[in-house]
Amino acid sequence: MADHPMMSSSNAGTVVSEAVLTQILTQLESLTISNQVLQAKVDALSSAGRPSAPVAVPINQTSSPAVTINGSFPSGSPPMTTFGLSPPATVLQRPPAQPAPVSQDREKVLYPQRVILTTYPDQTGIRPVPLNWGAQDPKVRGPVVPSRLPASIKLRNAIGAHSGSYSIYRALAIALGNLNPTHKPSYANTEPPVAIPPQPAWFDPRKIVSFDPWGHLVPQIWAEQIEAGLDIRPSIAVTKAHIKLSELDEAARKGTIKVDGTLVIKSRPILNADYTESDVDPGVELACSKAAVEPVWFLPGVAERFKISEGLLRRALFEDTGGMYPELITRPDIKVFLPPIGNLTVYIFGKPEYMSDTSKELTLRVHDECNGSDVFGSDICTCKPYLIFAIEECIRTAQRGGVGVVVYFRKEGRALGEVTKYLVYNLRKRGGDSADKYFKSTEMIAGVKDMRFQALMPDVLHWLGIQKIDNMISMSDMKYNAIVSSGIPILKRYDIPDHLIPPDSRVEIDAKIAAGYFSSTKAITQEDLAKTVGRAWEETEH
């Protein structure tokens, strides 16, 4: 009898080949997840009709009092409690408020069950979908599932919600009745038009810890589980675009960037009011590839990157977000957290496959958001001129046969936020805007001069397959040190040319150079800083 195709031909016994065994295990895992989804749906249907009797919230059954449904404490109880890790599921009845009838009816439809404040790993029915961060096979790695929908809530393996800070708008849309929370997205024709293939760093659980490297391939990899009803969503999207910037139009007119018809393309003619073509120069457009990336934190890796314990990281995230995510404390078995923050966008100029080709020249700028300058052209800092200069350098590199990359992080005001930044502006302009007071002004208001913490920043470079950087368009010592310490060498650094520095931003640049930022031409002492003074309010009409 001939050997069965699933048997090894090299052995007399019935030994299953490794490839077939992997296929069987993958199919078994898929069936297990499908069964879990079905069981979760049955559980949800079974509990939907149960009465919602008032239930107290057990916090720590040995030492802390129960919190009642109206938030009050028993007589003599302390005003603070601590979370324990062993109580059963923590539930809370809806508060006895009397909303408008329409809202009340919608609430009953949207949330027929009692409020589940948190869960515990030993709670009945809790069975998270396996998630093995850093596994080479994505099916073995497993999908990221933070969903609290009835079919997914017991299967979740992540804390938080997709879309980062925009998850709040999603919640509002659901509350207003504009969005069905069970809407099932159609991912047809959404696959990336540009390949970002797996890189060795994807399989190292220490190299990429701040987002899901498989996030752009979710609809393709886990199609069966999504079809079975498991709420799995992409956390990365990759697309193509044309960029249109007036500064680049001017650069093309001056000849500092060349129109090549491929990367730099002449724009279509401008139309007059009567729809005839104008003879005004329409400028240029840049062809590029780009990727939007949402944050997905692997907590053990993030803690290791910052050289703190995972327990401390979880406690800080819980306490200093107003207790927003109790499961950071009660679910130590869940290792992935989707924080409510913005993350990053990647812009690629030239062929994306060149990013992982060490024989090709690569130019990079890592840029942290500055809405006031990037969008509205404020002259108090160099953010926009430096960004435009970097894009031009990326174009010139691509036209030389290399590739240019700009990574744009949402870290407004050094991650202190725009409100804090504007308060600092007020202090600077009222207190004498000199370079020797630049960082001190920020510390007086924020308590720290910078909260960008660049330790997580290199993750995106490893995701793209970047192994060396020929030209780094940045003066930041923090960015340089983070990239180099992650294992990516930087061969050359560029500071911003003097002619691109707005006069009022000289305070910022000189203060940064004195603090250790890179400069190829200028050394600044502390004594020099007092001589660098910005414009006072009195010098300009407001």
Closest CA to 116 of 50, 55, 42: 55
Closest CA to 230 of 131, 153, 135: 153
Closest CA to 351 of 341, 362, 342, 339: 362
- Locate the DSSP E strands across 315-354: 336-338, 344-349
Dihedral of the CA atoms 412, 413, 418, 422 (nearest 10)? -160
CA-to-CA separations, 33 to 23, 147, 155, in angstroms, rounded: 15, 14, 9
Sequence-distant contacts of 96-101: CB under 8 A, at least 24 apart: 96/69, 96/70
| Residue 447: Cβ-neighbour burial (10 angstroms; 0-12, 13-18, 19+) | exposed
Closest CA to 90 of 338, 327, 323, 333: 327
Q: What is the DSSP letter of 504?
A: G
The catalytic residues are 450, 452
Indicate the pairing of strand 403-409 with strand 362-368: parallel
Widest pairwise Cα distance in the chain: 98
Q: Are 360 and 401 in contact (CB under 8 A)?
A: yes
CA atoms within 13 A on the CB side of 268: 4
